[in-house]
Structures are given as C-alpha cells and as structure tokens.
Amino acid sequence: MSYLLKNVAPLGGAPTDVLIDNGVLAELGTDLARGAAEVLDADGLVLLPGLVDLHTHLREPGREDAETIASGSAAAALGGFTAVHAMANTNPVADRAEIVEQVARLGEYAGLVEVRPVGAVSAGLRGETLAEIATMARSAAAVRVFSDDGACVHDARLMRRALEYVKPFDAVIAQHAQDPRLADAAACCHEGEVSGRLGLPGWPAVAEESIVARDVMLAEHTGSRLHVCHVSTAGTVEVIRWAKARGIEVTAEVTPHHLLLTCDLLAGYDPLYKVNPPLRPADDVAALRAGLADGTIDAVATDHAPHAAHDKDHAFADAAFGMLGLQTALGVVAETMVATGLLDWAGVADRMSLRPARIGRVAGHGRPLQRGEPANVTLVDPAASQLVDPDALVSRSRNTPFAGRTLPAAVRATFLRGRPTVLDGKLVNGIPA
Ligand SMILES: NC(=O)N[C@@H](CC(=O)O)C(=O)O
Ligand SMILES: [Zn+2]
Ligand SMILES: [Zn+2]
C-alpha cells in the first residue's frame, strides 16, 4: 500500500506532497502523481518524524492489569510515537537477555511502534551488583539504554562501574536522580511551602540536584554517556547547562507533566497528581521550559506510568507514584512550548524525535524528512484541540492528570515503516484485546 499526503507541511514549513511507498518517503515535491497511492488530503497538517519516547513504562511482564506491551503500544501510536523505550522495572526485572528479548518480541508482535527494551543497571534494581549489561547489549534486543528507573543508582562506585561498562557498547546510563537519604521512602511532595501547609513528607530539590552533580562528574571521569531522567528542578537545569558547557557527554529529558503542572495541584490531596519526581513550583516549571527551549534539556520523555485503580485510588500517602503520558504528550508540548512561542514544530521534532532517537541509538527513527528515509512519521493537525477524557484512552489504566483539560493539536495519522498504525485519529486495526 502506498499513500500520497497532499499539501502537507513538513516540520510546519512550506506545503508539499509526500509519497509514502515501500516503507520509505519515496518522493517529496509539488503536484506528485497519485499513481496507485491512496490520497490523504493533508491541507493544514504538519508532518513530523515519528515521535520517540525515551521513557515508557509498559508494565509487561508482571503488571498486565495496569498495561501491556500491546495496549501501551496502541496508546503510543495514537500519541504520534513510532518508537518507545520500555523501562526495566517490570516483574521480573529486565536485567538479563531473556527478558529484554521477550519485551522486544512482544513489541514486534503488537506491531504498532518499535519497542526498544531498556535494560536494568543493577540486578533486580537492587543497586548492589551490576545486571547482565554486556549480554543484554549483545543480545538480539541490542539494548543501548540502561536504567534502574524507579530507583536511583545511588552507590557512586556502582554508578562509576556502570558508566565504564556501557562505554564499549555506545550505550547510555539513564539515571533516576534521587538521593534516597535526602528523599526517603515516605517523601511524596515537593519540599517547600506546600509540603508544610499540606503536612506531606517533603522531597527537597537538592535530592535530585546533588545526584546529577555527582553523576556529571562521573560521566566526565569515565568519558561515558549519561542521560538524566525526568529533570524536575531549576537547579538541575543549571547543573546540566554547566556540564554541557564543560564538554561532558550528558543529555536530559523533561516530562510533559513537569512542563505543565505545579505542586499547587496537591491542595486537594488527589493522588492523580502524585508522581516521582514530584510536581514542583512555577519557578521550576519556567526553568524547565526555558531549558528545553535552549536545548539544555534535550528531549521530552513521557515517563508514561500506568497504575491500576487498586494501586492509585488511595489516600495520597499510600497511592502509587505515576501518571499516564503517551496519548497527551504532544498536546501538552503544543500548549506549553508551541503556543507560548518557545518552540516551533521543527523544534518539537528535534526534542521529541531526532534527539531522543540519537540518545537511544534507535536506527531509522528521528530522521530528517527526506527522500529515501524510512517512513516513520506522524501527521499532526496544529489547529485542532482535544478534550482529555480518561475513559477514551486506550491505556489499560486511567491515571491521567490532564482529565477535563482541552489540549491543542491532534495526531491525525501515524506511519510505522510506511504502514499506517493510526488514520483519522483512530487505530487502523482497532484497540488491541
Ligand atoms: N514516575 C513515577 O512516578 N513512577 C514510575 C517510576 C519512575 O519513573 O521513577 C513507575 O514505574 O510507576
Ligand atoms: Zn524515574
Ligand atoms: Zn519512569
């Protein structure tokens, strides 16, 4: 099947026609002949390289009540993604070759996005001994991102070893930066005026910043690649800016929810706003937006963290940490970065596709929209808007913090290797069972 996108605007630039044939962008130009292709009228639509998520929790194996690789892949495709990185904090933990290979296989079987497994840094995410990093890197899954996400690799010696270990594989350590001594297990709210007022155990910004400061020095020392997960404070942005200026190989991501939401939302003790790292005050949100705009923060990553109602619907202190993100990410970025003039669509493509693909070493994704490139692309209507209805999401969980909000822009179509996974804003093959 081939498709002719009529009058589409690549990266929001001048409209042109794009022919998708044989899995690639076969032709770009004005007034292309339709031939046997199905024509999609793309007037007013923006063509982006398929979005790439560096940070997704798909919960399979082990918590299929919250999400499966198939249901999470469907949410991703609807959100405009063509590749996602499946975090390792599953049950069993993805700390060896069999598990990462199984995750990759299930991703292929679902066939909606490329699922790139993340390998654990430490065995069982326990932070004591290294996981089987080399065998995962050399396995059929060819893991290039390693992370204990959910937990911080807090032991400096283990972090140093991990950085050294991944270097020959050109892989990266993605750190969940949280000093467990400064933000203990009870911490669930940004430490500041709001935690005092609400009487919730506080989580100081320095618990994140001190680990990032240590890790960039370890990255400099080892000459290895470090990636900082879900940056949440202004101070972390400063540390990363400094490290990049010094030539250290560090990259960073910010989540959509940290770009839009503040800790003031915790006033009603609604566990939907409970997330790790916590929502922060407006000054931090402004610094995160500025850091993403100037490229200090490389990427938007969803940290899509589905939780079943029986884990999330509890008193604030007892509820699970995490928020859904895949189906709302582009809308939140459109609201916080595009509508504000901080990024144009080319900038969105850079932060949500090109750079994350490069960081994760994902071949064939995040490529320029040029002839001959693999047709991993997404079609966005920048003039549309979408009311977030939790019951309309295809994720198995319902824990979106954006319920009831109207977000700008809408994904109209997503193509994976030239094959549409989403058309007219709907899954081509329906919602997976
Ligand atoms: N972000 C979260 O609040 N939760 C994540 C873990 C994590 O990303 O640290 C999860 O796995 O639920
Ligand atoms: Zn995390
Ligand atoms: Zn996470």
CB of residue 353 inside a 6 A radius of ligand 1: no
Range of the domain at 246: 50-360
* Backbone CA torsion sign across 163, 165, 167, 169: negative
pLDDT (tens digit per residue) in 205-216: 999 999 999 999
Q: Is 386 in the pocket of ligand 1 (CB under 6 A)?
A: no
- Is residue 380 in a domain? yes
Closest CA to ligand 1's atom 6: 150
Q: Does residue 149 share a domain with residue 115? A: yes
Ligand 2 center from residue 277 Cα (angstroms): 7
d(CA 83, CA 174): 17
Whether the ipTM is more than 0.90: the answer is yes
> Which of 54, 56, 57, 272 for mutating ligand 1's site (highest number of atoms within 8 Å of CB)?
57
In the listed set 360, 383, 409, which residue is the last one of a domain according to the structure? Answer: 360
Look at residues 360, 386, 412 and tell me which one is the last residue of a structural domain: 360
Q: What is the pLDDT of residue 433?
A: 81
* 260 annotated ligand binder: no
Given a cut of 90, whether residue 425 has pLDDT beyond it is yes
SS (H, E, C) 68-118: CHHHHHHHHHHCCEEEEEECCCCCCCCCCHHHHHHHHHHHHHHCCCEEEEC
Residue 393: which CATH number?
Answer: 2.30.40.10
Average pLDDT over residues 161-165: 98
Does 55 share its domain with 16? no
Domain match, 338 and 396 both: no
Same domain for 334 and 384, yes or no, is no
> What is the band of 199 on the pLDDT scale with cuts at 50, 70, 90?
very high
Please determine, for residue 268, whether its predicted confidence score (pLDDT) is greater than 90: yes
Please say which residue of 305, 327, 360 terminates a domain: 360
Same domain for 164 and 137: yes
302 with 217, same domain: the answer is yes
User: Do 22 and 89 share a structural domain?
Assistant: no
Give pLDDT, residue 275: 98
- Against a cut of 0.95, is the pTM above it? yes
DSSP code string of 141-185: T---EE--TTS----HHHHHHHHHHHGGGT-EEEE----TTTS-T
Q: Which residue has the tokens 């949440």?
A: 232
Task: Name the band, by pLDDT with cuts 50, 70 and 90, for residue 6.
Answer: very high
Asked if residue 171 belongs to a domain, the reply is yes
In a domain, 210, yes or no: yes
What local confidence, expressed as pLDDT, does residue 147 receive? 99
Check whether residue 126 and residue 69 sit in a common domain: yes
Q: Is residue 56 domain-resident?
A: yes
Question: Rounded to the nearest whole angstrom, what is the distance from the C-alpha of residue 179 to the centroid of ligand 2?
Answer: 12
Q: Are residue 213 and residue 293 in the same domain, yes or no?
A: yes
Tell me how many domains the chain contains.
Answer: 2
Ligand 1 atom at minimum distance from 306 CA:
12
Q: Quote the CA–CA distance of 300 and 355 in Å, as a whole number.
A: 9
What DSSP designation does 395 have? S
- Both 109 and 38 in one domain: the answer is no
Query: Which strand ranges, in their side-by-side order, compose the sheet holding 81-86?
Result: 51-56, 81-86, 114-117
| Domain annotation covers residue 303 | yes
Please provide the average confidence, as pLDDT, over all residues in the chain: 98
Is 368 within a domain?
no
Amino acid at site 386? Q
Residues 178 and 209 in one domain: yes
Which residues form the catalytic set? 303
Task: Check whether residue 165 and residue 180 sit in a common domain.
Answer: yes
Q: Report yes or no on 432 lying in a domain.
A: no
**Contacts by 237-243, CB closer than 8 A, 24 or more apart:** 237/287, 237/288, 237/290, 237/291, 237/296, 237/297, 239/209, 239/212, 239/213, 240/212, 240/216, 240/291, 240/296, 240/297, 241/291, 241/296, 242/216, 243/216, 243/219
Average of pLDDT values for 107-135?
Answer: 98
Residue 198 lies inside a defined structural domain of this protein: yes
Q: CATH number for the domain including 285?
A: 3.20.20.140
- Nearest listed ligand to the Cα of residue 301: 3
